[in-house]
Amino acid sequence: MQVNKYIGDEAFQKMLDHYSCPTPLDVIKMRFCGAICSPNLKLTPVDVISSFFEEAKTPRLETKAEADLFFKFFMGLWDEVFASIVANKVSLSSINSKDVAFYCQKRFDEIEMGFVEGFFGGQENLKMAGYLAQIVDSVSELALVYNKLKNTSQPSEKLFEAIKNTDKMVEQAISFIIEHSVLPRIEDLKRQVN
Question: How would you label 51-68 residue by residue, b for 16+ Cβ within 10 Å and e otherwise?
Answer: bbeeeeeeeeeeeeeeee
Taking residues 53-69, report their average pLDDT. 90
Helix (H) / strand (E) containing 55: none
Contacts of 107 (CB under 8 A, 6+ apart): 92, 95, 143, 146, 163, 166, 167
The average confidence (pLDDT) of the chain is: 91
Write down the pLDDT at residue 41. 84
Dist CA 107 CA 93 (whole Å): 8
Q: What is the pLDDT of residues 16-28, one digit of tens each?
A: 999 999 999 999 9
Which range is least confidently modeled, 84-93, 102-111, 123-132, 147-156? 147-156
- The residue-averaged pLDDT of 100-114 equals 95
Report the C-alpha gap between 47 and 137 in whole angstroms: 23
150, 99 Cβ separation under 8 angstroms = no
How many angstroms separate the CA atoms of 145 and 166, rounded?
8
Q: What pLDDT is recorded for position 1?
A: 45
Residue 119 in this model has a pLDDT that exceeds 80:
yes
Q: What is the pTM of this model?
A: 0.93
Alpha carbons 43 and 50: distance in angstroms, whole number: 12
Q: Measuring CA to CA, which residue among 54, 57, 32 is closest to residue 121?
A: 32
Instruction: State the average pLDDT over residues 104-111.
Output: 96
| pLDDT over 90, % of the chain | 73
Domains and CATH numbers, the chain: 9-193 (1.20.120)
Give pLDDT, residue 191: 54
Q: What is the torsional sign of CA 95, 89, 162, 158?
A: negative
pLDDT of residue 151: 83
